[in-house]
Amino acid sequence: MNIHVILDGIRISLRVQKARITGINKYVGNTEGICRRIIRDSYNKKKEYFMVSPGNFKEFYARDFGICCESLIELGYKEQVRKTLEYAMKKYSEHGRITTHITPWGKPVDFPYYTPESASYMLNSLIILNDKSLLEKYKAFFEKETRKIYEEDIDKETGLLRKDKHFSSMKDYSKRKSDCYNNCFLALLARNLKKINVKTPLEKYDYPGTIKKYFWKKNYFTDDLSGKDIISGDANVFPFWTKTFTDKEMLRKALKSIQDKGLDKPFPLKYTVKEDTPKDFHFADKLVPGYEANNIWMHLGLCYLEILRGHDEKRLGQHLKQYEYLLQKHKTFYEVYNEEGKPFNTLLYKSDDAMIWASIFLKLYEELKP
């Protein structure tokens, strides 16, 4: 394992133990005030980039920043978003590849595995920012990165991820076989490369057609190509979040499958229910048992809320009230809750707090409030 991953793990462990003794930083103020203070504290002013949080995850994550990028811009943080992308892309280009994250001391690393979604998130964030000079500067880099993805990670016949290789995903610890989530980000990457006029081998694949053929089961998207046919939260959110699919009837069915399975209870959203929890995990799961099993993940829940926008405003409003209640109760925005709705806590790990994800909540909250 990369020494920088080990050092970062030690840093997080020490921070968790300190938080047990001193407690977390609780924010005062109304809902908007708490969220704005969390966003403020999540920006590293010295290095000029958005961290995942000022707590456990002080690093830059392509995924976490990628899901928040648009919300941050809409909330007025466009300059900080630009600085963040400048910082991250400079580090990645020097490293020669886009990784899952960049450590607090500026080292690009992958944990637990490499994943093409990182490149997809980064290009999507640059397109959202719409800074033509940055896009032009890194066009050749993305072309080179995508050719590596094609050569190393793709089943050449289908265009989907290889089933014999493990990739990180939003459900990092799970060892899945060509999961739906990651394949949707391949589709997004291929679409975005066309937008910036970069030609790569990915353009020959019909990703919406292929993903529908292999993953759509009449009423939901299955988790991966293992044949286990599991209904998971991420597999049914991200086909729509990435806009790989825009069909309203498919969305209605997928949302109903999520709800019928109870993945949105007591509030959104679980990866899987207990009986569907995968058995094959990365060894890190032994250190933090159940971390990515049937707990409630707030970033996944927020992406779920985003696809509810414009489709089921009533349900969206109800969930926003639940999120607001949690925010005011705990005076922070927690990372993950257990299945009973309490902040996740084990012997070696305590749920992170003050997550930059609060920006997505705030954007939705401001859009829907009277």
Domain of 21 in residue numbering reads as: 3-368
- CA proximity to 321, closest of 271, 268, 270: 268
Angle, CA of 42, 45 and 50, to the nearest 5°: 35
Instruction: For residue 94, count CB atoms less than 10 angstroms from its CB and return exposed for 0-12, middle for 13-18, buried for 19 or more.
Output: exposed
Q: Any bridge partners for residue 336, and if so which?
A: 297
- State yes or no: pLDDT of 293 exceeds 90: no
- Give the pLDDT score at 42: 98
Residue keyed to tokens 């707030």: 298
Cβ neighbours around 214 below 10 Å, total: 16
Can you read off the two tokens belonging to residue 248? 């309203």
Question: What's the average model confidence in pLDDT over 250-271?
Answer: 98
- Give the pLDDT score at 300: 98
Q: What percent of the chain has pLDDT over 90?
A: 85
Q: Any bridge partners for residue 350, and if so which?
A: 345
Can you read off the two tokens belonging to residue 319? 């969930």
- Give the pLDDT score at 3: 87
- State yes or no: pLDDT of 1 exceeds 90: no
- State yes or no: pLDDT of 145 exceeds 90: yes
Banded model confidence at residue 36, pLDDT cuts 50, 70, 90? very high
Contact 101, 115 (CB under 8 A): no
- Give the pLDDT score at 311: 95
Distance CA 198, CA 62 (A): 21
Alpha helix ranges (H) inside the chain: 3-22, 31-41, 62-74, 78-95, 117-129, 132-153, 180-195, 207-215, 233-241, 248-261, 284-287, 298-308, 313-330, 358-368
Question: What's the average model confidence in pLDDT over 261-275?
Answer: 95
Instruction: For residue 282, count CB atoms less than 10 angstroms from its CB and return exposed for 0-12, middle for 13-18, buried for 19 or more.
Output: middle
End-to-end CA distance of the chain: 51
CATH number at residue 289: 1.50.10.10
Distances in whole angstroms, Cα of residue 241 to Cα of each of 23, 246, 249, 309, 316: 35, 9, 15, 11, 15
Can you read off the two tokens belonging to residue 184? 């949707």
What is the per-residue pLDDT across 2-31, written as a single tens digit (0 to 9) for each? 788 888 888 888 888 888 888 899 999 999
Contact 55, 19 (CB under 8 A): yes
- State yes or no: pLDDT of 283 exceeds 60: no
- State yes or no: pLDDT of 301 exceeds 70: yes
**Residues whose CB falls within 8 Å of the CB of residue 324, separated by 6 or more in sequence, listed in order:** 31, 365
Count how many domains the chain has. Answer: 1
Banded model confidence at residue 285, pLDDT cuts 50, 70, 90? low
Compute the half-sphere exposure of residue 359: CA atoms within 13 Å on the CB side of its CA. 28
**Residues whose CB falls within 8 Å of the CB of residue 30, separated by 6 or more in sequence, listed in order:** none
- Give the pLDDT score at 8: 83
**Residues whose CB falls within 8 Å of the CB of residue 163, separated by 6 or more in sequence, listed in order:** 155, 177, 178, 225
Contact 128, 70 (CB under 8 A): yes
What is the per-residue pLDDT across 170-205, written as a single tens digit (0 to 9) for each? 987 678 999 999 999 999 999 999 999 999 999 999
What is the per-residue pLDDT across 323-365, written as a single tens digit (0 to 9) for each? 999 999 999 999 999 999 999 998 889 999 999 999 999 999 9
Adjacency order of strands within the sheet including 60-61: 60-61, 101-102, 108-109
